[in-house]
Amino acid sequence: MAETKWKGSPVHLAGDFPQKGTMAHDFVLVRNDLSPLRLSELKGKRVVMNIFPSMDTTVCATTVRRFNQLAASFPDTVVLCISRDLPFAQSRFCMAEGIENVITLSDFHLHSSFARNYGVLMTEGPLNGLLARAIVVIDHEGKVVYTELVPEITEEPDYKAVERAIRET
């Protein structure tokens, strides 16, 4: 069982975080228009998964803005911004911020297995039930080529390492 921190306090996560070199688990998440998106629909493209607790926090909003810029630089890469925010809230945020280069996806569905399959479900602390901050980069074949489980939820991921991972795939 992996762990992260919330303002210095340990937070345990349910499931197993993907390891570099493994095949990414398929999933179904919900788009802003309430339609489903499966990871398998993106086969043949590089995929960056920006996983985080909620767009309603400063750090999470910053990561979405930064990955929106990053996505514009890599046309054959799909950037997925994944949280448990409702699709309606994600849509409002994107419209207000001019976010157009990423796909926001919600893991709000009661029967979703994404959070556990990707080892990012926080099981304690004030954000219990939300997703931990993490990055997963998947190559054209569906293999995990980079992961980062951010050690402190209140901090941003290593954007330069993500860019290197994209360039190397």
Residue 112 has pLDDT above 90, yes or no: no
Q: Which of 22-36, 101-115, 152-166 has the lowest mean pLDDT?
A: 101-115
- pLDDT at position 110: 66
Residue with tokens 């994404």: 114
* Helix (H/G/I), strand (E/B), else coil: 167: helix
Q: pLDDT tens digit string along 39-58?
A: 999 999 999 999 999 999 99
Catalytic positions are 60
- Split at pLDDT 50, 70, 90, the class of 124 is very high
Domains along the sequence of the chain with CATH = 3-168 (3.40.30.10)
Closest CA to 2 of 131, 150, 53, 13: 13
**142 and 50 in contact (C-beta within 8 Å)?**
no
Residue 31 has pLDDT above 90, yes or no: yes
Q: pLDDT tens digit string along 71-93?
A: 999 988 999 999 999 999 999 99
Sign of CA dihedral 57, 38, 163, 100: negative
* Helix (H/G/I), strand (E/B), else coil: 17: coil
